[in-house]
Amino acid sequence: MNIKYDIADKNDIDELIRLRIAYMIDDFGSVSEEEKIGMEKQLPDYFSRKLGSELIAFVARDEEKIVSVAYLHIIEMPANSILLNGIYGDVLSVYTEPEYRNKGLCTELMKNLVEYGKNKGLGSIELKATDEGFPIYEKIGFKEKEARYRYMKYSF
C-alpha cells in the first residue's frame, strides 16, 4: 500500500463518480439501476462545473486508484452574527473503500480538509456524522452542535 494524499482535479472525474456510487450503495444499502444511470448522467457535468471551486475533493490514492474521498462544499450566504464573512464549508460524502478502512485515511483527509478551510478563511465547517464517523470527526476537533432549529426537508 502506497498512499498519497492530494486534491482531485477534472482528470479524476471518472474515479469520483465510481466512489460516489459506491458511497451511495454503502450508505443506503443499494442503488437501483435507474438511480445509478441518473447519477452517471448528472455527475460528470456537476463535477466539471464545481470541482476545484465550490467543491474540493480531498483524496487518498493507492498508486493511481482513489481509495478514499472527502468533499468540502464551499457555500456563501448573507453574513450574520455568527458567520461574519458569510462563507462556510459543508463536508459531504466521506467514503473509504472497505479494504482501506481503519488505516487512518479518513483522519488524514479530514485534517487536510480542515487545514484547507482555515487557509481559505472559512467561518466554519459543518458535517452530519454517522455513528461510525463520529469518533473520527470528534478526534479532529469537530463538536456536536445543539440545534436551535429542527431539521426539516421538503421533497418533490
Question: pLDDT by residue (tens digit) across 101-136?
Answer: 999 999 999 999 999 999 999 999 999 999 999 999
Confidence of residue 150 (pLDDT cuts 50, 70, 90): confident
Instruction: Report how far residue 118's alpha carbon sits from residue 33's, in angstroms, rounded to the nearest whole number.
Output: 40
Coil, helix or strand at residue 75: strand
Domain count, the chain: 1
Assigned domain for 154 exists = no
Assigned domain for 56 exists = yes
Owner of C-alpha cell 483524496 = 59
- Position 118 scores a pLDDT of 97
Q: Are strands 65-76 and 87-96 parallel, antiparallel or unpaired?
A: antiparallel
Residue 89 maps to which CATH number? 3.40.630.30
Assigned domain for 152 exists = no
Q: What domain range is 75 assigned to?
A: 3-140
Instruction: Report how far residue 41's alpha carbon sits from residue 60's, in angstroms, rounded to the nearest whole number.
Output: 25
Owner of C-alpha cell 472497505 = 98
Backbone angles phi, psi at 137, to 5 degrees: -65, -40
Question: pLDDT by residue (tens digit) across 13-69?
Answer: 999 999 999 999 999 999 999 999 999 999 999 999 999 999 999 999 999 899 999
Coil, helix or strand at residue 104: coil
pTM over 0.85: yes
